[in-house]
Structure 1
């Protein structure tokens, strides 16, 4: 086996030992040794390999696999702009703390900086977006154990977010011998969780749960008797303390809030952002693996977990006190009028999101796109037990959502999860439509993609630029209508497509089905601003 093939075999073998069960590859020449090593690992059942022709799609596919499995997922590219195309996925993984392992093939050192073909400066290409950067080279000639140790250190860093390994490979790039087939025992990283920080009683507290923080937030809110302001992708939006209409309630009760406990990265609501920016409130942050949200001039307490002094680990839910009861009663009133306004508003993004949320079967996965989709879902009722919602809320971009959903669905169903769904707008779908391009040998999940098509950027109608005084410029520079035939676009990749022209149609199309399919729901963007104004006015009237 030549040096490049041997190095690639060591890298892939150590990734498998460290817990990688899925890997994503984009084809190229310089990464041939890594490609062949991954293919051999796939052939022998040590991991499952996914091949994508576009590196940006590959990056987000790996992101979805890692997000849903919580295991390190390597994504492998050749040199040059191929490596640069992974940057958006790396940024998202950075902010949301996803264990994405980027492996970029590179030229030997003497071919760098001299104008050699397909050669760019890949050293620290992703800057501060990765937890660590290392370079492996066939020319360094370390021992095999030293190479393995380097990969182990990289995987240790990946527990907190993305890492980058640049692999300098020299020709010949194709092995001249049989794979070693050497099997080595797996290894595990030790957990480094710190003990919880204790909180004193006496302060009127709310718990805000942002992206990806799971059931700890729900349990703590219920055991402590706090209102739970949980975003859809928090993993905590269920149970009796979770509030549907919290975005309308925060400003109303803002002056009475004395302490905010924040799990994860809350990013959806301007009212929550205002709350987290105040100087007169005590903040306790439990950031998890993602980047800390620290908006207040007041220094927060940062902890890996918190416990009130009156709560013991595993304690059951306490009965609501006067503070929690105020929030629950207001939420019931707000939910009642929300239901009335949404039902009378016809086919809208909010109505579609609520229908999708209500139809999720047990053990289902829902991946929500950024922009309008996740915010519309934020007005749905708390999800039932054993439903999982994921979203790219680290940097909150719309790019890569189709590929993220595919990766998350593949990982979810590999762990015996149920059917998977995705909810996104038309621009989000178009931005990553090439994620639907799958080779004949590639694994396909059971995934239904619901596209709310309002022919442009509906979210902008709700912002300042959507006001009537900006109407002359709005459509071209914000609305961006496109007129794309989504059925024809899906046909190009042999993806089944159906239209749902009513909520009843949509309900039928949401029945679990095998394979990948797209369900398009067309809505009228011109009505979005008025509908949201009606919602705000109706809730204000109900609470007055």
Structure 2
């Protein structure tokens, strides 16, 4: 007969399966051996799909990508000690993006904490307020199953997010048998929890006033028919948004009287300037979590009322959008714009219908927002919860595994290098079909567009912000066993057809002219928009 640790692990895994979990990520370890055996048995029985990874940080983001792609809670199981701490970046991203990730962490028995026992830390509440709920697993079969039910309900509830189940396990850590499914206590049915969705009153705004919608990740996605929409690529509203919207926000003739904030916009500084303008009334749409209000200007939170917009207001934005788009395309076609913008335009236009696209959090997501033509039929993901570059390769792999169709990622070189272990996949593991497009400008290009990239800081910039490197991406791809191709943006369409496995497409770039090129492009677009606005006056 197997010991208490095995029985607890089997009960937890069984209850996760009964609660709808279909994917679990596991990292190897000794203390979580009972989970490793239980998950292996459940996978062999077809009860779930197991993904094994050697790096806990990447494993956490793989779980995040799987959860984003499937809409289901995804546990990531680790051993004790620093293994648990390495989940923290993914837990934070899940918390701020509203993604149901379950940190399932093995622990030493509580009486060993503080004794100097190896690989032992105080894991109680390790993730603090980042998790929606924390529990230390009971040793009673019926109670631990109830705990799992509560944690699943919290992870997938009205405000989805990460939860943490810490499981102290005492030796023996290996089973006496591989039986699956485990026995269940009599009268222990799955506890189904229906999330409560409160009624949300409509926003108390003027439905006839000139109104602009600013949409970010987490946009609840109502119909904004008749209203101009400036949306980030990860928003549900992006497909129907203005293509050049971010370039138009500082145009005085287009200044709205009201702004409706949908989701969590984080990309563009002109958006923050607009929301901070005391002459603009700001309202927020109610969603699945806290509303966004960085400058503390939101007057009310609610649902979208019936709007009665003036068609002339919408037409003015459309005309400006057409003018800005034409100016943008002319510069891109002439080869005078930053290569990242042209790459973003060509990539989004060339993706097959039904594709999933993961965007790196630095320049790639901004390049898509600034240059790509929004289109339907794509699933677009960016880790904008806390906007880190952590684990982006692993996130893209998780989305690809859950998506089931062609999957792509657009990353910068530093973002790729930050998660190289996301490319290390064991020979028995399911490999995603994922094309990773890497803009390689050999350093941190985004910093050249920020204050520290100004000419007066050139003496310090390259070493401490540009952070140049000499990594050969072709050799790196060969080392992890994936195909590598180097192309120019103009040739990208010819290599985007879906292909099995992981492959890397490298687009070399020079970031030394990035700041000047962006400034010149802003001038060109600004002049075209001013002319279009003047022509309608």
TM bracket (short chain): over 0.9
Aligned to 2:162: 162
Aligned to 1:194: 198
Aligned to 1:495: 482
**Kindly tell me: are residues 118 and 254 of structure 1, through their superposed partners in 2, closer, same or farther at Cα, counting changes over 3 Å?**
farther
The answer on whether the counterparts of 2:243 and 2:374 sit within 8 Å (CA) in structure 1 is no
1:307 maps onto 2:304 in alignment: yes
Deviation at 1:354, TM superposition (A): 0.8
Aligned to 1:515: 501
Match among 373, 381, 384 for residue 393 of structure 1: 384
1:383 maps onto 2:374 in alignment: yes
Aligned to 2:269: 270
Q: Secondary structure at the match of 1:438?
A: coil
1:208 maps onto 2:205 in alignment: no
Deviation at 1:433, TM superposition (A): 1.0
CA distance in 1, matches of 2:190, 2:285: 31
Matches within 5 A, 1:1-80: 1-80=2-81
Aligned to 2:250: 251
Deviation at 1:153, TM superposition (A): 0.8
Q: Secondary structure at the match of 1:220?
A: coil
**Kindly tell me: are residues 178 and 509 of structure 1, through their superposed partners in 2, closer, same or farther at Cα, counting changes over 3 Å?**
closer
Matches within 5 A, 1:298-377: 298-303=297-302, 306-309=303-306, 321-345=311-335, 348-377=339-368
**Kindly tell me: are residues 381 and 520 of structure 1, through their superposed partners in 2, closer, same or farther at Cα, counting changes over 3 Å?**
closer
CA distance in 1, matches of 2:298, 2:378: 35
Deviation at 1:472, TM superposition (A): 0.9
Aligned to 2:259: 260
**Kindly tell me: are residues 374 and 56 of structure 1, through their superposed partners in 2, closer, same or farther at Cα, counting changes over 3 Å?**
same
Deviation at 1:286, TM superposition (A): 3.0
Aligned to 2:443: 456
1:294 maps onto 2:293 in alignment: yes
Deviations 1:140-199 (A, max 9, x none): xx3x33221111111111122111110000100111244252588766542322334224
The answer on whether the counterparts of 1:278 and 1:297 sit within 8 Å (CA) in structure 2 is no
Between 93-102 and 1-10, report the one with greater CA deviation: 1-10
**Kindly tell me: are residues 377 and 187 of structure 1, through their superposed partners in 2, closer, same or farther at Cα, counting changes over 3 Å?**
farther
Deviation at 1:289, TM superposition (A): 3.6
Deviations 1:196-244 (A, max 9, x none): 422452332111110143xx53x4211xx211111011132113xx112
User: Normalising by structure 1, what TM-score?
Assistant: 0.92
1:152 maps onto 2:126 in alignment: no
Matches within 5 A, 1:434-473: 434-473=421-460
The answer on whether the counterparts of 1:235 and 1:388 sit within 8 Å (CA) in structure 2 is no
**Kindly tell me: are residues 350 and 449 of structure 1, through their superposed partners in 2, closer, same or farther at Cα, counting changes over 3 Å?**
same
Q: Secondary structure at the match of 1:176?
A: coil
The answer on whether the counterparts of 1:98 and 1:289 sit within 8 Å (CA) in structure 2 is no
Q: Secondary structure at the match of 2:125?
A: coil
CA distance in 2, matches of 1:107, 1:287: 42
1:126 maps onto 2:127 in alignment: yes
The answer on whether the counterparts of 2:344 and 2:372 sit within 8 Å (CA) in structure 1 is no
Aligned to 1:314: none
Q: Secondary structure at the match of 1:379?
A: helix
CA distance in 2, matches of 1:498, 1:187: 51
Q: Secondary structure at the match of 1:374?
A: helix
Instruction: Give the length in aligned residue pairs.
Output: 519
The answer on whether the counterparts of 2:19 and 2:190 sit within 8 Å (CA) in structure 1 is yes
CA distance in 2, matches of 1:307, 1:412: 30
The answer on whether the counterparts of 1:4 and 1:172 sit within 8 Å (CA) in structure 2 is yes
Deviation at 1:307, TM superposition (A): 2.8
Aligned to 1:220: 223
Aligned to 1:173: 173
**Kindly tell me: are residues 230 and 187 of structure 1, through their superposed partners in 2, closer, same or farther at Cα, counting changes over 3 Å?**
farther
The answer on whether the counterparts of 2:27 and 2:79 sit within 8 Å (CA) in structure 1 is yes
The answer on whether the counterparts of 1:278 and 1:296 sit within 8 Å (CA) in structure 2 is no
The answer on whether the counterparts of 1:52 and 1:58 sit within 8 Å (CA) in structure 2 is yes
User: Normalising by structure 2, what TM-score?
Assistant: 0.93
Deviation at 1:405, TM superposition (A): 0.2
**Kindly tell me: are residues 19 and 253 of structure 1, through their superposed partners in 2, closer, same or farther at Cα, counting changes over 3 Å?**
farther
CA distance in 2, matches of 1:487, 1:212: 36
CA distance in 1, matches of 2:295, 2:380: 28
CA distance in 2, matches of 1:131, 1:163: 5
Between 164-173 and 272-281, report the one with greater CA deviation: 272-281
CA distance in 1, matches of 2:122, 2:415: 31
CA distance in 2, matches of 1:93, 1:146: 27
Match among 492, 511, 514 for residue 528 of structure 1: 514
For structure 1, the residue ranges without an aligned partner over 5 or more in a row are 312-317
Q: Secondary structure at the match of 1:198?
A: coil
Q: Secondary structure at the match of 2:291?
A: coil
